[in-house]
Amino acid sequence: MTDRLTYEELAALMKKGAGLSVDPREMENRSGTPFDEFGLDSLGLLGIVGVLENRHGQPLPADADRCKTPREFLDLVNNSLMTGA
């Protein structure tokens, strides 16, 4: 695992946390598509945020669980992890 969250890791977290099987390549190709079209609701995204916060030992921005698309979420998470904010 790298410090940057990838579509593969996000798909694995969606499967583990919400039981959703999403092809990471499809998610990357449709990265502007709302999470709900992949079957992920706000509670599922909140769970993923919690896993990532525990994994990296730092809080993510307060609005991380309000991201609407995979691209928005990955950009926010990766920018946060790179800056340590």
What pLDDT shows up at residue 81? 80
Query: What are the extents of the domains in the chain?
Result: 7-83
Six-digit token pair at 54? 């525990």
- Asked if residue 31 has pLDDT above 50, the reply is yes
Mean pLDDT across 50-79: 93
Six-digit token pair at 83? 């800056």
Six-digit token pair at 31? 């990265």
**Cα separation, 83 vs 69, whole angstroms:** 21
- Asked if residue 1 has pLDDT above 50, the reply is no
Six-digit token pair at 37? 């079209």
Domain 7-83, second-level architecture: Orthogonal Bundle (1.10)
Which burial class, exposed, middle or buried, applies to 49 when counting CB atoms under 10 A from its CB (0-12, 13-18, 19+)?
buried
